[in-house]
Amino acid sequence: GLIIFRLMITLYHPEGQSCLLNQLQVEICRYPLGMTGGQIQDEDISASSQWSESTAARFGRLDFDNGDGDGAWCPNTMSEPQLSDGLKEYLQVDLRSLHFITLVGTQGRHADGMGKEFAQRYRINYSRDGNSWMGWHDRKGRQVIEGNRNAYDVVLKDLEPPIIARFVRFMPVTDHSMFVCMRVELYGCEWLDGLISYSIPDGQQMVYSGLSVFLNDSVYDGASAERSEMLTKGLGQLTDGTWGLDDFLHSNIYGMWPGYDYVGWSNESFHRGYVETIFQFDHVRNFTTMKVHCSNMFSRGVRMFRKVTCFFQSGSDYEGDPVTFRQADDDVNQAARFVTVPLGDRTASAIKCRFHFNDLWMLISEVAFQSGNYDPTHKVDDSNTRILIGCLVAIIAILLTIIVIILWRQVWQKMLEKASRRMLDDELTARLAVQTQAFSFIHSSLSSEGGSTSNSTYERIFPLCADYQEPSRLIRKLPEFAHTSCKAIAANISEGAPHYAEADIISLQESSDSYSITAVNMNLFSGSDSSMREFPREKLTFKEKLGEGQFGEVHLCEAENMLDFVDEDLSLAGIDESPLLVAVKTLREDANKNARNDFLKEIRIMSRLRDPNIVLLLAVCVDTDPLCMITEYMENGDLNQFLSPPNPQTKSGTEQRQISRYGKLISMAVQITSGMKYLSSLNFVHRDLATRNCLVGKNYTIKIADFGMSRNLYRGDYYRIQGRAVLPIRWMSWESILLGKFTTASDVWAFGVTLWEILTLCKEQPYCHLSDEQVIENTGEFFRDQGKQVYLPKPPRCPDAVYSDLMLSCWRRNAKQRPSFQEIQTQLLESSP
Ligand SMILES: *[C@@H]1O[C@H](CO)[C@@H](O)[C@H](O)[C@H]1NC(C)=O
Ligand SMILES: *[C@@H]1O[C@H](CO)[C@@H](O)[C@H](O)[C@H]1NC(C)=O
């Protein structure tokens, strides 16, 4: 269609109005170009390398954190030594057509809180044709852009000067020891001038009453031939969207030298009396006008050009009949202005214009072209008109059909997405969805304010004005908003609960309040209501407080007549006294609704688990507040504390020696496998098997506890954002950490670690010599499987066979090759004398 400079035409006046124009321009040309919104297709995003398939270039979309990836583009920084400037890697975006790019945004890898990589600094390279690449630098020549400080905030950078390009590369500047990941967005609009380069003699230096005025094209991005001082194959100040002021000694841009906005030439150096310029376009166009912004400060020897002669080239040579435009001198008004040169609808792909001097100096700050696409079917006679109309109607019909199909597919996709998200929630740790939605909401509200992205075209309507509303501020609001909620949650978590990965020792009763991961395959347990019976509260006698969590407390109580109350025969579970000691977990009355729901869900799940090696829920009090659940009391606390070296108050040396006999340890491990076998037979994935979550009763009875339900305190949308500090990474399989995949096989992995803990008597944390970061790096090595992964060492008490045949097999990369709990149990029993 026609490219119409409607705003320039309707609103331009020689003086004033620039603020109005500028506002429009800024609003028009700061659209997100579609990394987040998806208008940029996956195949148009590429990269120098990728760390893995799940961190491929297509995942480098700002604020886009779901899908099947790991949250960002991450280059394979480990593969080869970096170049000295750290610039081997890049993420490339192909915009499919020339765009005017005014702003870029970057973000690191967050990935549900598991990612922490980001690019602190980066550079931008760009290209208009995909072959010759230019490095972006700011007006002062600095190439390096300060990037992110954390993995989640969006950092926006105004490109001053803006870029006109089709291809843009983001190049993280790293030192060799760093992992970087990036998500990016470009903001701007389509560049409809069609101008791909101009060639001019470089501007010169004027001395005005002792002051040096540099009139060179300081942002030109093409080549400059030293001797001839010709600039070729680039764009620069004449297309940067900044108009010069009336007084060319001053600049729109703060801190630049006099004459910065203009390119100027002196008639002393041009003996033919004109400056020759060549403009190259992307394809053949019909040109109606050229607009040239000139200074007319005749009091300082500067005047607009006297005449301009333009030659047109559509084939291989310039045509013989140029268009000439003369203008009268203006000896009154010294204001800078646009001169409109009519080009008479000439057809060309290149235009050569000769600007004739009218004084000592000629200064130009901007050139713009108004053109329509060249249409060879321009002259149609009447008989063809009908056919043409028929064709148009057909095309419109086809387009409508396509639109309907696209809409229908989108609806369909949304439904699928919803369905799969539900599945994710149930089966996997879901990925960061809320943040993404929130961001896209802002993006869409942004674009609806200024028109939609698809018709975001650049109208060059220029200069800077102090009071303009910067759309990027609107964008910035959102991360802050998302953050407040993040911070609130972080504060919540750190108040009451230790950070999981740092301190994994949590007392038995407290443990279920301590962190948040989803632990439950709810499908199994949704259905009819809990069969638990309400226990009369007054029959509980408080003995002692066992623990306290953020949302409740755990008390040791005596329960009267519990045995009569519970229908089943509890002697099977080793419970036969009366009054019975029980652990009572209560939910604070002021707990929020989510906490309440999670508490009830925990009850629902536990009420259906019946196994000698699973902690038994005896009864509940849910008719009135505070809600409480009554479980059997395990007098020896959790297995981690129980095994760790003697504490003089609780264990004597002989007792400790007794515990640490290999046969005893193995019998405990066998009990755990037995409980896990039961869980896996129900397709129940525990997700947090560890000694701290196993309780010890009389006679070394072990029962698995903590089904993570109250971790769901942070469920819903929030825990995913703050997830990082609350994942038991040292027990987690590589696929749980990297892919969020939890299965019985990942429980088997965790069992391997638990067995290791048992056989080392919980003297140290697994991988205690590695930091959390290193543990995650090690996880990456498990994934790559190049023999660089570090395994937990063989515990001193552990027979070689148990270590190599059993423990190591739990940590096999391929989940299918890991043994089942039944097989583990058999092997353990065989290893025990
Ligand atoms: C233009 O002139 C300034 C001032 O002398 C100089 O710093 C700059 O490098 C020049 N730019 C180009 C592209 O030659
Ligand atoms: C440059 O312009 C001035 C003022 O119009 C004129 O006097 C001078 O002769 C010109 N010089 C050349 C070389 O054309």
Cβ of 216 less than 6 Å from ligand 1: yes
Structure confidence at residue 528 as a pLDDT band (50, 70, 90): very low
Identify which has the larger pLDDT, 576 or 138.
138
Q: What is the structure's pLDDT at 165?
A: 94
The total number of residues written for the chain in this structure: 833
Element (H, E) at 125: strand 121-127
Please report, for residues 163, 186, 231, 251, 467, the alpha-carbon distance to residue 463 in angstroms, rounded to integers and kept in the order given: 16, 21, 24, 10, 12
Structure confidence at residue 242 as a pLDDT band (50, 70, 90): confident
CATH topology (fold) of 25-190? Jelly Rolls (2.60.120)
Q: What is the structure's pLDDT at 12?
A: 33
Mutate to test the pocket of ligand 2, among 275, 300, 305, 360 (most ligand atoms within 8 A of CB): 360
Q: Which atom of ligand 1 is nearest to the CA of 219?
A: 13
Which pair of structure tokens corresponds to residue 462?
A: 């220029």
Structure confidence by residue, pLDDT tens digits, 151-196? 888 999 989 889 999 999 999 987 666 788 999 999 998 888 889 9
Surface-to-core class of residue 580, CB atoms within 10 Å of its CB (0-12 exposed, 13-18 middle, 19+ buried): buried
The residue among 179, 109, 119 whose CA lies nearest residue 146 is 119
Contact (Cβ atoms closer than 8 angstroms) between residue 668 and residue 700: yes
CA–CA separation, 174 and 481 (whole Å): 30
Q: What is the structure's pLDDT at 274?
A: 95
Torsion angle in degrees (nearest 10) through CA of 542, 546, 549, 551: -20
Handedness of CA 280, 281, 283, 288 (dihedral sign): negative
Distant-in-sequence, close-in-space partners of 239: CB < 8 Å, separation ≥ 6 = 164, 193, 195, 198, 366, 367, 368, 460
| Protein residue closest via CA to atom 14 of ligand 1 | 218
| Protein residue closest via CA to atom 8 of ligand 1 | 218
SS3 52: coil
Cβ of 770 less than 6 Å from ligand 2: no
- Alpha helices in 432-507, H assignment, sequence order: 434-450, 471-496
Mean pLDDT value across residues 203-232: 87
Mutate to test the pocket of ligand 1, among 202, 206, 216 (most ligand atoms within 8 A of CB): 216
Residue 631 clears pLDDT 50, i.e. is over it: yes
Structure confidence by residue, pLDDT tens digits, 660-687? 788 888 999 999 999 999 989 888 888 8
Of 255-259, 272-276, 635-639, 721-725, the least confident: 721-725
Which pair of structure tokens corresponds to residue 530?
A: 């809990």
**What's the 205 CA to ligand 1 centre distance in angstroms?**
10
Most confident of 243-247, 377-381, 580-584: 243-247
Q: Does domain 195-373 have CATH number 2.60.120.1190?
A: yes
Distant-in-sequence, close-in-space partners of 771: CB < 8 Å, separation ≥ 6 = none
The residue extents of the domains of the chain are 25-190, 195-373, 403-523, 637-833
Largest Cα–Cα distance in the chain? 115
Contact (Cβ atoms closer than 8 angstroms) between residue 208 and residue 201: no
Mutate to test the pocket of ligand 2, among 266, 304, 329, 357 (most ligand atoms within 8 A of CB): 357
Q: Which atom of ligand 1 is nearest to the CA of 217?
A: 13
Q: Is 202 a catalytic residue?
A: no
The residue among 149, 188, 166 whose CA lies nearest residue 92 is 166
Cβ of 360 less than 6 Å from ligand 2: yes
Mutate to test the pocket of ligand 1, among 202, 218, 240, 251 (most ligand atoms within 8 A of CB): 218
**What's the 198 CA to ligand 1 centre distance in angstroms?**
18
Rg of the Cα trace of the chain?
36
Strands of 152-300 (E only): list them.
Answer: 155-173, 183-190, 195-201, 205-208, 211-214, 223-225, 230-234, 263-266, 274-294
Question: What is the dotted CATH code of the domain comprising 637-833?
Answer: 1.10.510.10
3-state helix, strand and coil shares in percent for the chain, rounded to the nearest 5:
35, 25, 45
**What's the 101 CA to ligand 1 centre distance in angstroms?**
23
Which pair of structure tokens corresponds to residue 245?
A: 């002021």
Question: Residue 208 pairs with which residues in a beta bridge?
Answer: 211
Contact (Cβ atoms closer than 8 angstroms) between residue 242 and residue 462: yes
**What's the 463 CA to ligand 1 centre distance in angstroms?**
22
CA–CA separation, 276 and 356 (whole Å): 9
Tell me, rounded to whole angstroms, the distance of Cα 484 from its chain centroid. 18
Mean pLDDT value across residues 580-597: 81
Structure confidence by residue, pLDDT tens digits, 402-461? 999 888 888 877 766 665 454 444 433 333 333 333 333 333 333 333 333 333 444 343
Residue 303 clears pLDDT 90, i.e. is over it: yes
Structure confidence at residue 198 as a pLDDT band (50, 70, 90): very high
Q: What percent of the chain has pLDDT above 90?
A: 32
Torsion angle in degrees (nearest 10) through CA of 189, 193, 199, 200: -90
**What's the 340 CA to ligand 2 centre distance in angstroms?**
25
CA–CA separation, 451 and 28 (whole Å): 8
Q: What is the mean pLDDT of the chain?
A: 76
**What's the 335 CA to ligand 2 centre distance in angstroms?**
22
SS3 774: helix
CA–CA separation, 355 and 590 (whole Å): 80
Q: Which atom of ligand 2 is nearest to the CA of 266?
A: 1
Please report, for residues 189, 373, 787, the alpha-carbon distance to residue 290 in angstroms, rounded to integers and kept in the order given: 21, 15, 65
Same fold for the pair 25-190 and 195-373: yes
Cβ of 204 less than 6 Å from ligand 1: no
CA–CA separation, 261 and 509 (whole Å): 71
Which pair of structure tokens corresponds to residue 208?
A: 């005005």
SS3 159: strand
What does the DSSP 8-state code read for residue 827?
H
Handedness of CA 307, 312, 317, 320 (dihedral sign): negative
**What's the 529 CA to ligand 1 centre distance in angstroms?**
78
Cβ of 256 less than 6 Å from ligand 1: no
Ligand nearest 272 Cα, by number?
Answer: 2
Mean pLDDT value across residues 221-250: 87
Calculate helix-pair angle for 744-759, 821-831, nearest 10 degrees: 20
Q: What is the DSSP string of 633-653?
A: --TT-BHHHHHSSP-TTT--H
pTM: 0.48
Number of H helices and E strands in the chain, helices first, is 19, 26
Cβ of 218 less than 6 Å from ligand 1: yes
Q: Which of 688, 747, 772, 800 is catalytic?
A: 688
Q: What is the structure's pLDDT at 148?
A: 92
HSE of 795, CA atoms in CB hemisphere, 13 A: 25
Cβ of 267 less than 6 Å from ligand 2: yes
Distant-in-sequence, close-in-space partners of 788: CB < 8 Å, separation ≥ 6 = 781
